[in-house]
Each structure stands twice: as structure tokens, then as C-alpha cells.
Amino acid sequence: MNDVNKQTVDYSAFPDERGHFGQFGGRFVSETLIYALDELQEIYAGLKDNPEFQAEFDRDLAHYVGRPSPLYHAERWSRELGGAQIYLKREDLNHTGAHKVNNTIGQALLAKMTGKSRVIAETGAGQHGVATATVAARLGLKCQVYMGAEDVRRQALNVYRMKLLGAEVIPVTSGSKTLKDAMNEALRDWSTNVDDTFYIIGTVAGPHPYPQLVRDFQAVIGREARAQCLERTGKLPDALVACVGGGSNAIGLFHPFLRDESVAMYGVEAGGDGVDTGRHAAPLNDGIPGVLHGNRTYLMEDENGQIIETHSVSAGLDYPGVGPEHAWLKDLGRVKYVAINDAEALAAFRKTTRTEGIMPALESSHALAYAEKLAPTMDKEQIIIVNLSGRGDKDILTVADIDGITV
């Protein structure tokens, strides 16, 4: 834990001017998009510290999303585990049911400033698609959402929610038909319709400035959790745990604590069938640095540099890359990245549902499963905050399917 390197890093100074976190991040896109990214960066730089913009963002979060989200002490579960006290940051209680909406509210405000009439998004589990369709409905913007054909099948409920909200869902049939291919297609759309279209990226990936602005919008999670924990317990937590797909809920929780050296952090990737089987979605555990979707980061790829298919029971974690800031935090040793496999996540889904009466998203279940391993190794006075990034309603059909039940 006492790595000299990480103590001397000023985390708030990253990314640098060109979007780099050390060797990671940057802007690896085709020339057509550079202009749009420059424009977005300029607009964001002008608004980032603008009190009016922040006030509008905060107002929307309070009255539309329902923030602050509670920090709930899972007493019964903690007692059963016999170790650290587990607190759940209840992002599942946000409007639309996940942390994703924090970001879409922020980007929708940016879209409004640019005067563009159309928004597009990529989505995996459909949570980001729903959150985008929601803000688009509220602002009267035309909305198209790219979703891998495989995910359209797995997340039928969210597909229908998006349609009800007035968005068009476009199934993507190229490549592995999941989130990465949806992102390719959204980037293609954006370079074609760059004049009138704002691309709302759903996680801390993509080209600069997306990893920065999505982080800034999601950091409300960690700011609240920090204040809530101090108020309730008089001290900082000892550990933070969050699942990592692209990494937005995790960085949102972690970022406001990065300077607090006593706070350990665990990012939980999707172990799929197990990291040693190769069938997983855990690039920080078992990937190497490369370039995809506009940034340099850890990727799952073969020996020829082709991106390989990922496997996870949870559509929202089924992505072969990860936000560049996580790649950097891994190399700095500030955050430890671990993996939880499908079976462990499903067990945690059932456990949390039965023990606390909270049905978590399968994504969040990965974080819960890791907390379950971590808590017994710690003292009863210690505190773990788990980011409960979303609710499990969208996953009921998946779980029923695994149970062999037709709902």
C-alpha cells in the first residue's frame, strides 16, 4: 500500500491537456471526429467550473434523479459475514435504476449548449440506453441507440423501455454483436452526422474528453459517499468496492477518495467462466495495453492485435476494454483490480436479495460478491462501501432463464 509513486501523484491534475493518464487515454480517432472532440472539449472546459452550469446539474440530480442516493448499512448481511461493516451506495434508487443517469444528465446539458438536435448512444445492458432515452425525452431530442443484437436479445425489457421513451434502438449485427460493436457503430454514425449529432458515451472510455467528463459527472457518487460516511460513522471507509465494465460507476465512487491513502480500493471485473479459462471480460486482470475506441488502455486481444470476444453473464460488463484512468490506477498500484466469475456473481445476486431485500443488477452483483470475500478478512469496526450501481429488475429474465424458468 505504501507505494512511493502513488503518494506523489496529484490525481486531480489528470488527464493532461491532451487527455493522457500516463501512457493511457488520448485521442485515437479518425480525422473527421477531431473537430467534434475539440468542440466538446472547449465547451466542457468553459462549463466545468461555471457555477451556473454546476447549479443546473445539481438541481437536475436532486429533483429529477432523486439524489443524494442513500448510503445503507447492510447490517444483517454484515453480521452474517462476521467482519467489516458493509454499506451500500444505493445508485439503484436513482431514476431509471442505475448510476448511468448521472452522466446522461450531465451530457444532455452539454448537448443543449451545443444546440444539436439529435443524440446517439451505445449501450450494453441497456441501462445507459434507457438513461439516454430518458433525458432525450425530457429535452425533446431525437434519440437513436446502438445495441449489439446479442444484447437486444438478453435485455429485452430495456429495449422496450427505450422504445416507450421514444428512442429508436438499432441492433448491431457486426463483429461479436455486443457493446464493443455498438460503440463502433455509434462512432460511425457520429462521423457521418457530426454536424447535428451529440454522442453521449456511457462510460469513462472513448476518446478525450469523454473519460474526463463522464468521470466528473459520476464523481457525485464518491463525493456523497464520503460525506455520508463521515457524518454517519465519523470516519472514512477502509475499503471501496465497485464493479468495472468501462469503469464509470467505479471511478465515480473512487475518484473523490484517491487522495485518502487509508482507503483501499477494489475494482471488480467480470470473470465470466473464470479468468484462467480465457472466457471472461477482465482486461485489467488478463489483458495488455493497446488502442481501441479512441484511447490507449488495457484490452483483451489476440497475438495479432485483434480484439477478442468477451464473456460475462452481465451484459453491462461484457466489454474488452476499460477506461484509461483505471489502466493508469492499476499501473500506479492505487486500485487493486480483481475478478468475480459468473457463478459467484449470481450467488451474490440471490444472497443480497434474500438477506437485505435488495435485488441488485448482475453488474453490481460482481462488486457484492467481492465484498463478501473481503469483509470476513477485516475487523468489525472497519467499513466497506460497495457501489450498488443498479437494480436487478432488468436481469430477472436472465436469472429465470438460468434457473430454467419461463416467466
Partner 1 sequence: MSRISQQFEQLSSAGRKALVAYIVNGDPVREATLPTMHKMVEAGVDIIELGVPFSDPMAEGPVIQKGHERALVHRVSLTDTIAMVAEFRKTNQHTPVLLMGYANPVERMGYASFAERAASAGVDGLLTVDLPPEELEGLKQELASRDMDNIFLLAPTTRVERAREIAAHASGFLYYVSLKGVTGAGHLDIESVKRKLDEFGKLTDLPMCVGFGIKDAASASAVAKLADGVVIGSVLVDAMGKMAGRPAGEVADAVGAIISDIRQALDNL
Ligand X SMILES: Cc1ncc(COP(=O)(O)O)c(C=O)c1O
Q: Which does 177 bind (CB under 5 to 8 A by kind): ligand X, partner 1, none?
A: none
Q: Which does 98 bind (CB under 5 to 8 A by kind): ligand X, partner 1, none?
A: ligand X
Q: Which long-range contacts (CB under 8 A, 24 or more apart) does 141-145 make?
A: 141/108, 141/111, 141/116, 141/117, 142/117, 142/118, 143/118, 143/119, 143/167, 143/168, 144/118, 144/119, 144/120, 144/168, 144/169, 144/170, 144/189, 145/120, 145/121, 145/169, 145/170
Q: Which residues bind partner 1 (CB under 8 A)?
A: 18, 26-36, 174-175, 180-181, 184, 187-188, 191-195, 289-294, 296, 299, 301, 303-308
Q: Which is nearer to partner 1, 274 or 290 (CB)?
A: 290
SS3 state at 140 = coil
Q: Which is nearer to partner 1, 36 or 74 (CB)?
A: 36
Q: Verify binding: residue 316, ligand X, rule CB under 6 A.
A: yes
Catalytic residues: 100, 122, 389
Write phi, then psi, for 319 (nearest 5 degrees): -140, 135
Q: Verify binding: residue 398, ligand X, rule CB under 6 A.
A: no
Q: Which does 246 bind (CB under 5 to 8 A by kind): partner 1, ligand X, none?
A: ligand X
Query: Smallest distance from the beta carbon of 115 to ligand X, in angstroms?
Result: 28
DSSP code for 220:
H
Give the sheet arrangement for strand 288-292, strand by strand.
20-21, 24-28, 294-299, 288-292
Query: Smallest distance from the beta carbon of 322 to partner 1, in angstroms?
Result: 15
What the block records as the C-alpha cell of 343 is: 457463478
Q: Which does 244 bind (CB under 5 to 8 A by kind): ligand X, partner 1, none?
A: ligand X
Q: Verify binding: residue 320, ligand X, rule CB under 6 A.
A: no
The whole-angstrom separation of Cα 94 and Cα 102 is 9
What the block records as the C-alpha cell of 334 is: 492505487
Q: Which does 10 bind (CB under 5 to 8 A by kind): ligand X, partner 1, none?
A: none
- Closest residue to bound ligand X by CB: 390
Query: Smallest distance from the beta carbon of 46 to ligand X, in angstroms?
Result: 26
Of the candidates 2, 72, 83, the residue with the CA atom closest to the CA atom of residue 371:
83
Q: Verify binding: residue 390, ligand X, rule CB under 6 A.
A: yes
CB 302 within 8 A of CB 331: no
Residues contributing to the site for ligand X (CB under 6 A): 98, 100, 124-125, 127-128, 203, 243-250, 316-317, 361, 363-364, 389-390
